Chain A
Amino acid sequence: MTTTPPAPPKNRTLMRPATVTPTKKKSATWVPPVLVALGIIAIWYLVSYVVLDDKRRFLLPPPHEVFTEAFFQPDVFSDIMVALGRTAVVALVGLAIAMIIGIGWAIAMSQARWIERSTFPYAVILQCIPILALVPLIGFWFGFDYPARIIVCVMIALFPMVSNTLFGLQSVDKGQRELFQLQKASRWTVLTKLEFPAALPAIFAGMRISAGLAVVGAIVGDYFFRRGEPGLGSLISNYQSRVQSAELFAAIITASLFGVLIFILFGWLGKRVVGKWYDFSAS
């Protein structure tokens, strides 16, 4: 028995450098976005106070007014938070449905070429058609409440799930496939032990994109329908028509922050699940 295997040879190129890079750069990653944020705020103030005169300042109220006039007003704040709760429900339910349909659809396409050939074009079309134009129709067909909002949300969030999962399933290395083929592994075994695990990094990347889109989708439907319990979409639409620009900005910022939050959540989840063996920073 050999006790010590030979030390790794000097051909480090064969190893992914993933294990070495991140720690060093950590402090640097948050600095640039913060600088950009400061820059944006500076320009914002500049436009509010220098470009716009008093009478037109409502077009872009200065940043602090978003807080003093909206976030710090208890009634406005609670309106926004209640609406956020409703939007979050729609976004998360929509995202869950998009994930199930997307992964299921992609698996079906990876198993049978004819399914891919006959249905993938429609996934692309779904991505290309202006969903905004369809929103009123969806309202007529399915009513103007939660189900319709969720349908809009799913339509907007679906494509990245489908395309990423399909790409992941099909990107399995040929040699690995043949390894399974030599043992006469069944399709199911190949799917569960090879294709699906190999696709997980792509699936998580898709989830991250879909998560952001799901928030947009949840708002879009509500924005147009303006019926039932108001979510962020209705709220934005109302603030808009009443020219309450501070409140409008507050609602938009809330929606963006929520989008970022679930984007980060899925990024974190992906790292937890596949980060050990897959290096996201390399892709």
Chain B
Amino acid sequence: MSIATPPVAPTTTTDQLLHFDDVAMTFPNGTTALSGVSLTVNRGEFVTVVGPSGCGKSTLLRIASGLTPATEGTTQVDTSRIGYVFQDATLLPWRDVQSNVELLAELNGKPKKERQKTAKEAIDLVGLTGFEKHLPRTLSGGMKMRTSLARSLTLDPELFLFDEPFGALDEITRERLNDELIKLFTEQQFAGLFITHSVSEAVYLSTKVVVMSGRPGKIVDEFPVEFPFPRDPEIRFTAEFAELCGQVSHALREGHH
């Protein structure tokens, strides 16, 4: 496990799934959230964006998903299978786990048999088997997030967008979910764009860390991360890991000025 080891990405193909070219976002009230952002996410890549709060990181995901159109530049999305995991689990409190996970397939008009099957598989993937009949209020924060993750997995996404999904969780749960996310990434072969403000989470999860500056958000630096997949949790305690985290933190501080 040294930095010299070539990355073992889930797939060897590197076709582009998401491309931002000189994207800028100015809100109607005049606030510029993003300016001149160019970024590509290819199949087999897991790109993490770190930046200070309010730097427009989340806006980037909103643009990618089509929720908010950018005011300038071009955004190219080369797949229709997009998973989106929000900051909150956004589960419907009146639906149990099974039914929450089935929701997206249901909205897409999939027949009942099929969506039950895909939901079951997704629930299994996130390790919630046995909790199908539980209502969200009886779940812990981590389990809610797993449900939310399973819900997106039913779309069989090629591009997975994560908006600080584990930000509200405690450290232990967060680390566990990071490991499971890596496992999913290795098995399911999606491309990921992950927003976080935790430097170590960014380095641990991704194939590339992108550092953004404060408002207006600009990309100030990029760091390839070359630890092999699936990642060994122990790499967090290696000197290489610490050094990379140090570099990212430094870039963050620089960009913040």
| Contact surface of A with B, Cβ cutoff 8 Å | 1-6, 8-11, 14-16, 18-19, 173, 175-176, 178-183, 185, 189, 193-194, 197-198, 200, 274, 276-279
1/0 per residue B107-149: CB within 8 Å of A? Answer: 1100000000000000010011111000111111111101000
In contact, B92 and A6 (Cβ under 8 angstroms): no
Jot down 12 A-B pairs with beta carbons below 8 A, ordered by A: A1-B124, A5-B146, A9-B140, A11-B141, A15-B140, A16-B137, A18-B137, A19-B138, A179-B84, A198-B94, A277-B94, A277-B136
When C-beta atoms are compared, the residue in chain A nearest to B180 turns out to be: A2
The interface stretch among B1-9, B166-174, B199-207 is: B166-174
| Contact surface of B with A, Cβ cutoff 8 Å | 65-67, 82, 84, 86-88, 90, 92-94, 103-104, 106-108, 124, 127-131, 135-144, 146, 168-170, 172-173, 176
Collect the chain B residues with CB atoms within 8 Å of residue A173's CB. 88, 90
In contact, A14 and B168 (Cβ under 8 angstroms): yes
The answer for the CA separation of A55 and B106 in the assembled complex, in Å, is: 75
The answer for the CA separation of A173 and B94 in the assembled complex, in Å, is: 14
In contact, B107 and A185 (Cβ under 8 angstroms): yes
In contact, A175 and B140 (Cβ under 8 angstroms): no
Q: A5-B128, A15-B139, A183-B107 are in contact. List 4 more A-B contacts (CB 8 A).
A: A2-B127, A173-B88, A182-B82, A277-B136
When C-beta atoms are compared, the residue in chain A nearest to B174 turns out to be: A9
The answer for the CA separation of A134 and B82 in the assembled complex, in Å, is: 58
Known A1-B124, A175-B88: A180·B107 in contact at CB below 8 Å: yes
In contact, A176 and B127 (Cβ under 8 angstroms): no
In contact, B128 and A9 (Cβ under 8 angstroms): no
In contact, B92 and A11 (Cβ under 8 angstroms): no
Minimum distance in angstroms from A205 CB to a CB of chain B: 16
Collect the chain A residues with CB atoms within 8 Å of residue B131's CB. 5
The answer for the CA separation of A274 and B92 in the assembled complex, in Å, is: 13
Known A5-B131, A9-B172, A179-B86: A14·B94 in contact at CB below 8 Å: no
Q: Which 10 A-B pairs have the closest CB atoms?
A: A8-B140, A2-B127, A14-B141, A175-B90, A183-B107, A277-B93, A277-B94, A175-B86, A9-B173, A5-B127
Collect the chain A residues with CB atoms within 8 Å of residue B138's CB. 15, 19
The answer for the CA separation of A19 and B140 in the assembled complex, in Å, is: 13
When C-beta atoms are compared, the residue in chain A nearest to B125 turns out to be: A1
Collect the chain B residues with CB atoms within 8 Å of residue A179's CB. 84, 86, 90, 103-104
The answer for the CA separation of A18 and B136 in the assembled complex, in Å, is: 13
In contact, B137 and A10 (Cβ under 8 angstroms): no
In contact, A176 and B104 (Cβ under 8 angstroms): no
The answer for the CA separation of A5 and B143 in the assembled complex, in Å, is: 8
Collect the chain A residues with CB atoms within 8 Å of residue B129's CB. 1-3
In contact, A8 and B127 (Cβ under 8 angstroms): no
Minimum distance in angstroms from A44 CB to a CB of chain B: 45
In contact, B135 and A276 (Cβ under 8 angstroms): yes
Collect the chain B residues with CB atoms within 8 Å of residue A19's CB. 137-138
Collect the chain A residues with CB atoms within 8 Å of residue B146's CB. 5
In contact, A178 and B86 (Cβ under 8 angstroms): yes
Collect the chain A residues with CB atoms within 8 Å of residue B108's CB. 183
The answer for the CA separation of A9 and B172 in the assembled complex, in Å, is: 8
The answer for the CA separation of A179 and B136 in the assembled complex, in Å, is: 16
Collect the chain A residues with CB atoms within 8 Å of residue B124's CB. 1
The answer for the CA separation of A183 and B83 in the assembled complex, in Å, is: 10
User: Pick the contact of A197 from B65, B92, B128 — CB < 8 Å?
Assistant: B92
Collect the chain B residues with CB atoms within 8 Å of residue A18's CB. 137
When C-beta atoms are compared, the residue in chain B nearest to A14 turns out to be: B141
User: Pick the contact of A11 from B84, B87, B90, B140 — CB < 8 Å?
Assistant: B140
Minimum distance in angstroms from B187 CB to a CB of chain A: 12
When C-beta atoms are compared, the residue in chain A nearest to B155 turns out to be: A183
